[in-house]
Amino acid sequence: MFRKYYIVCPTTTATGGTELLHQLCYHLTKLGVENYIYYLGEYEGSPVKRSFENYNVNIANSIDDSCENMLIVPETKMDVLYGYSKITKAVWWLSVDNYPGANKIKKTILHTLYRKLKDFKNSIFDKKWKHFVQSEYAKQYLINKRKIGKENIFYLSDYLNNTFITTARSKVLVRDNNILYNPKKGFEFTKLLMDALPNANWIPLVNFTADEMKMVMLRSKVYIDFGNHPGKDRIPREAAICGCCIITGLRGAAKNDIDIPIPSKYKFEDTQKNILRIKNCILECMLKFTECSEDFTEYREKINNEESIFVSDIKENLLGVRA
């Protein structure tokens, strides 16, 4: 166990990832461990302050570069680690495909070259760092693609905000035959499904407040996600805990049964030949909702237990790590 833990957090967006960084600080404090969050960017007036002030984290204006301390950065901010020489360095892989070196999308030639050089630099040094993973998908990526030794990889997963789970447990609403989807992910294939079910009530999960998101999920029957899953995505879990049936593709973390442990009959490759099968699966979920919803009982139980597992990960994996 180290004397102090510093967790680096950007302030530009309030996301599931930046909330998780605050949740780690919150639980470290509850465990009596000295820890600080180190913000990249202006904190006052930022989305992060507005959304996560309730976690009451300790804020550091500088980092004590001592071998007695640990510095943890999300995978998108590895550059921060190069500014310190003595502190034990760790990367927390909150996702895989959001990391520049894993993303295959090409922009300008110069931008692509910059990303490759940055990734090459990280690949030289990251064998010496500790790596915490939010998902099995991230673990396999580190082992198979980045050739990180298993002895330097540790689970440090995540959990849904308690207010989401509490609301889902306490409210029982009449459900409509709504099909929910994230328009920011896999929309090209989703559009094919929408064309196959033109009379269905498709609801894009965009521009909702947290409370509105809960309500629409509690009133709906199906959530589909044929986009890429860079880790254990939150929206599928939020939809599942609110009682929806979940239908996914096989991209990213959705391919394995650890990160998204739903029956295989609800996972499909996003190909033209599967359109009819997926359409029939959606219709079955709506027509036999009570029966189909029970297929996700184990998934919901796992989601309900995530916070206690997260605390165990902190105790056994994070606090158990040595320099």
Structure tokens at 64: 């004590």
Whether residue 18 is found in the same domain as residue 109: yes
The CB density around residue 287, as the number of other CB atoms within 10 Å, is 11
Parent domain of 19: 4-156
Would the pLDDT of 106 be above 50?
no
Whether residue 168 is found in the same domain as residue 143: no
**pTM of the full structure:** 0.89
Residue 247 lies in a domain: yes
Residue 311 lies in a domain: no
In the chain, the number of structural domains is 2
**Across 134-144, average pLDDT:** 96
C-alpha closest to that of 135 among 66, 245, 234: 234
Whether residue 186 is found in the same domain as residue 240: yes
Residue 252 lies in a domain: yes
Compute φ and ψ for 80, nearest 5 degrees.
Answer: -60, -35
**Across 107-116, average pLDDT:** 54
Would the pLDDT of 175 be above 50?
yes
Q: Would you place residue 163 in the very low, low, confident or very high pLDDT band (cuts 50, 70, 90)? A: confident
The reported pLDDT for the residue numbered 171 is 72
Query: Tens digits of per-residue pLDDT, 1-56?
Result: 999 999 999 999 888 999 999 999 999 999 999 999 999 998 888 989 889 999 99
Would the pLDDT of 129 be above 50?
yes
Residue 224 lies in a domain: yes
| Cα–Cα dist 255/136, whole Å | 10
Average pLDDT, the chain: 91
Residues 6+ apart with CB under 8 A from 268: 226, 247, 248, 249, 250, 274, 277, 278, 281
Residue 13 lies in a domain: yes
Query: Tens digits of per-residue pLDDT, 199-244?
Result: 999 999 999 988 999 999 999 999 999 999 999 999 999 999 999 9
**Across 171-188, average pLDDT:** 92
The reported pLDDT for the residue numbered 105 is 46
**Across 149-158, average pLDDT:** 96
Whether residue 173 is found in the same domain as residue 42: no
Whether residue 12 is found in the same domain as residue 53: yes
β-pairing verdict for 4-10 and 69-74: parallel
Report the percent of the chain where pLDDT is more than 90: 79
Whether residue 81 is found in the same domain as residue 177: no
| Cα–Cα dist 62/77, whole Å | 16
Whether residue 29 is found in the same domain as residue 140: yes
Residue 5, beta-bridge partner list? 35, 70
Whether residue 261 is found in the same domain as residue 196: yes
Last residue of a domain, one of 115, 139, 156: 156
| Cα–Cα dist 294/164, whole Å | 20
Whether residue 196 is found in the same domain as residue 241: yes
**Where does residue 105 rank: exposed (0-12), middle (13-18), buried (19+ CB within 10 A)?**
exposed
Whether residue 172 is found in the same domain as residue 132: no
Whether residue 180 is found in the same domain as residue 143: no
Residue 283 lies in a domain: yes
User: Among the residues of 31-98, which ranges form H helices?
Assistant: 47-52
Residue 215 lies in a domain: yes
Whether residue 169 is found in the same domain as residue 237: yes
Residue 88, beta-bridge partner list? 70
DSSP state of 31: T
The reported pLDDT for the residue numbered 97 is 73
Residue 320 lies in a domain: no
Would the pLDDT of 133 be above 90?
yes
| Cα–Cα dist 138/143, whole Å | 9
- Whether the Cβ atoms of residue 110 and residue 127 lie closer than 8 Å to each other: no
The per-type count for the chain, helices as H runs and strands as E runs, is 12, 10
The reported pLDDT for the residue numbered 64 is 98
Query: Tens digits of per-residue pLDDT, 298-320?
Result: 999 999 999 999 999 999 999 98
List the CATH number of the domain containing 127: 3.40.50.2000
